[in-house]
Amino acid sequence: MSFHDFMAGGGWAVFSLVAAVFSGGFYLVNQYLRQPGHLLVFWMRVLVVICLSPLMARLDLPDDPRFYLAVLVTVFVGTFSDIRTFNACNIYGGGVVSRVQPLTVWGSFLLWFLFDPSLLGDYAAHPWNTFGILLALAGCVYFAMRLNKCKITRAGFVYMLPALLGYTLTTVLNKYAMDHGPLEGAVYGYMYVQSALAVLLIGGYSLWQEKAAPRPAGGGWAGRAMLAAALIAGFSWLCHMIYKNYAMAFTPNPAYQAAINLTTPVFIVLFYRMAKHREEADVASGMGIVACAVALALLTV
């Protein structure tokens, strides 16, 4: 079986699950190292550009301008969503932030029809399969929302709402970009071009922020904690995006990949248990998300 056959036959769901594991590191890093979100995003993207630069000369980058237009929009939307996410993890904890993500599933599922309206006919032709897909998506959202029954999580949700809306658009544009370029060139070119542009954008924003609110010696731009946080966040984001982009290239609808990524809270709960971190977590609802994500993957093959 070729790699393309594996991915088209359900391998995208496996890659989505691996992406969810690395996504957990993205949420947890700033819970413990507590760095300013804008500086963390800046250095994280600098490291991504450094790591990918040797590879880019060997790849055929997309020549479709629609790919670059989609990436450009995600630079503005996605990077500022990342800043808000890191700051939210600092305030509310990575577990809380990871459990307010279900809004992006339904948002991206519905928004994708604007990009691929022919899917409506495909779903209408297979009503029972479509009914199962909708039940699985509803189950993902239901169990994820059950995790929000506490004041801290509700406050985290309100704080994260602009980022969730941004991630909804980014999810759809990620899928759109993957469909407008050669596989490897689109997967790695998306990360590289986005990160290179983000370095310029967030670099300027960070200079303005740091000038307005200078930080004490040993912190800010070049502290040891910042370096450690950037390395962990950059590694987690790079691995997450590699697996996510391959999954996006083969998934029929970007909401499916986003739904499987909802298993991230489960992996964070497992980490909390190993680290003996005290958090009142609804494990049953977390496992409900996993079951619905597996059902969704099976129904879409």
For residue 54, CA distances in Å to 43, 49, 58, 59 come to 18, 9, 8, 10
pLDDT at 105 > cutoff 80: no
| Most confident of the following: 3-17, 65-79, 108-122, 252-266 | 65-79
What CA–CA distance (Å, rounded) separates 93 from 87? 9
The arithmetic mean of pLDDT across residues 96-120, rounded, is 72
Interior angle at CA 15, CA 13 and CA 21, nearest 5: 110
pLDDT at 187 > cutoff 60: yes
For residue 5, CA distances in Å to 11, 157, 244, 300, 301 come to 8, 39, 17, 15, 12
Q: Which amino acid is at 13?
A: A
- What pLDDT does residue 150 have? 66
What CA–CA distance (Å, rounded) separates 204 from 258? 31
> What DSSP string runs through 172-203?
HHHHHHHTSS-HHHHHHHHHHHHHHHHHHHHH
- What pLDDT does residue 66 have? 92
| Most confident of the following: 16-25, 124-133, 218-227 | 16-25
Share of the chain above pLDDT 70, in %: 86
Least confident of 97-111, 127-141, 265-279: 97-111
Other C-beta atoms closer than 10 Å to the C-beta of 186 total 26
pLDDT at 227 > cutoff 80: yes
pTM of model > 0.85: no
What CA–CA distance (Å, rounded) separates 104 from 49? 27
What are phi and psi for residue 93, nearest 5 degrees? 100, 150
For residues 153 and 147, the answer to whether their CB atoms sit within 8 Å is: yes
pLDDT at 82 > cutoff 70: yes
- What pLDDT does residue 126 have? 76
Tokens of 119: 């899917």
Q: Measured on CA atoms in the order 99, 101, 102, 103, is the torsion positive or negative?
A: positive
- What pLDDT does residue 70 have? 92
